[in-house]
Amino acid sequence: MIAVTPIRAKQDLTALPGNNAGGPGIAASGTSSAGRFRGALPAPLRPVDEAAEVRAITRGTIQASMEVLAGIRPVHQLARRLDPRCLSALQHRAALIRRELTRTGNPALARLHRNSVVRSVRVCEVSDGIYEASAVVVDDVRARAVAVRIERSKQVWRVVELVIG
């Protein structure tokens, strides 16, 4: 699995004040200049590629959603990532699965959504700050398709549509 994390802008330590002939990060007295600049603000974090960031967020959200349906993750953990309407629909579907399982005791239903793995994620930019993604998820019983629409609002990515096949 490929995970994408924001990376910090590389800072040239030789350009810092007080750094001279000692080489990068080493002052002339032989002490590290990093200790002197502890109060300095670090460079801002920024993603390498927006599509890669959306792909990673989508993969994690879909994996967590499948774990909610399997009953091994509480739905409230997705509250920050999912739109309230998507969150309530996911919660309703998980409750229906649990109710049907207790009513029938069907062993095939007990294996439904178990050991889910997101096999692939495809991302397409619809417009600025709006992406649509599709994923293939394989569990113990079957393979299924998942569709997601994700939008940026106030520098936070939020899933506004989640359709699990």
Could you report the per-residue pLDDT of 67-107, keeping only the tens digit for each? Answer: 999 989 999 999 999 999 999 999 999 999 889 888 888 87
Strands of the sheet containing 143-153, edge to edge, are 117-127, 130-138, 143-153, 156-164
Identify the DSSP state of 97. H
Banded model confidence at residue 12, pLDDT cuts 50, 70, 90: very low
Banded model confidence at residue 23, pLDDT cuts 50, 70, 90: very low
Quick check: 29 and 47 in contact, CB under 8 A? no
Q: β-strands 45-46, 130-138: how paired?
A: unpaired
Residue 81 tokens read as 């990532």
* Overall average pLDDT of the 3-24 stretch: 50
Residue 104 tokens read as 């029938």
What's the predicted TM-score (pTM) here? 0.69
Please, which residues bridge with residue 164 across strands? Answer: 146
> Of all residues in the chain, what percent carry a pLDDT higher than 90?
52
Specify the residue for token string 């619809």.
126
Q: What pLDDT, on the 0 to 100 scale, is given for residue 6?
A: 53
More confident residue, 118 or 6: 118
Residue 6 tokens read as 């924001």
Residue 18 tokens read as 């007080």
More confident residue, 74 or 22: 74
More confident residue, 30 or 112: 112
Q: Kindly compute the dihedral angle of the four CA atoms of residues 108, 112, 115, 119, in this order, to the nearest 10 degrees.
A: 120
